[in-house]
């Protein structure tokens, strides 16, 4: 989606995906000792702010200026700070061996870009660092509860496994579940949850 689409969506006064963190992200980040976290396609800040409140040093990336404004406002409301870079994910200058965890929550890309981002995300992790992914799978194409309408941008478990064939897969799950994250992620959805360790 072009940046204009996201700026228009995030320009609303409401937090269109809510202020509460994604449940999978929350469950997994709560299991780890706080350290350095990179949240990619962070949008309005719900996940990064939750992590910061719980002791993480958070670096967030998104190319939407409106999303960044709302994320920094949410951080201020919660008396925490985020380092928030305004950048495309594929154009971001990833550090090497720096982060203890990286998240990609409902971040959808064209296949060739997705694979590059996955490689860079793994490069940025320290040894035993973890990458968390929750995204819509290809079955979601027929639902109206979120996600792109380009099937190539939806996730497939075999493609994910191929992207991380030299890493340790901790969790790989496809499920149909009810999501409630603001007005654009609402209802029954087909999703993938995936965790990989460096």
- The predicted pLDDT at position 135 comes to 97
Does the pLDDT at position 112 exceed 90? no
Tell me the per-residue pLDDT of 130-139, one tens digit each, with 9 for 90 and over. Answer: 999 999 999 9
Extents of the domains making up the chain:
3-197
- The predicted pLDDT at position 52 comes to 98
Element (H, E) at 47: helix 46-53
Does the pLDDT at position 2 exceed 90? no
Those residues whose C-beta lies under 8 Å from the C-beta of residue 74, and which sit 6 or more positions away, are 15, 19, 44, 45, 46, 49
Radius of gyration, CA atoms only, the chain: 15
Q: Which architecture, in CATH terms, is 3-197? A: 3-Layer(aba) Sandwich (3.40)
Kindly report the pTM of this predicted structure.
0.96
Query: What's the rounded Cα separation, in Å, for the pair 16 and 179?
Result: 14
Q: How large is the average pLDDT for residues 111-117?
A: 94
Those residues whose C-beta lies under 8 Å from the C-beta of residue 31, and which sit 6 or more positions away, are none
Residue pair 178/186 in contact (Cβ under 8 Å)? The answer is no
Q: Grade residue 60 by pLDDT with cuts at 50, 70 and 90.
A: very high
């Amino acid at each position: 989606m072009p940046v204009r689409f996201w700026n228009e969506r995030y320009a609303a006064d409401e937090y269109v995906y809510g202020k509460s963190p994604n449940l999978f992200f929350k469950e997994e980040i709560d299991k780890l000792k706080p350290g350095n976290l990179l949240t990619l396609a962070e949008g309005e800040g719900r996940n990064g702010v939750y992590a910061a409140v719980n002791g993480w040093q958070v670096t967030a990336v998104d190319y939407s200026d409106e999303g960044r404004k709302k994320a920094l406002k949410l951080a201020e409301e919660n008396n925490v700070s985020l380092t928030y870079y305004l950048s495309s994910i594929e154009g971001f200058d990833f550090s090497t061996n720096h982060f203890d965890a990286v998240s990609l929550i409902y971040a959808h890309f064209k296949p060739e870009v997705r694979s590059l981002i996955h490689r860079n995300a793994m490069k940025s992790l320290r040894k035993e660092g973890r990458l968390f992914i929750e995204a819509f799978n290809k079955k979601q194409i027929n639902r109206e509860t979120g996600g792109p309408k380009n099937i190539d941008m939806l996730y497939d478990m075999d493609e994910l496994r191929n992207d991380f064939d030299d890493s340790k897969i901790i969790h790989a799950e496809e499920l149909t579940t009810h999501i409630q994250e603001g007005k654009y992620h609402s209802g029954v959805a087909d999703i993938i949850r995936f965790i990989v360790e460096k």
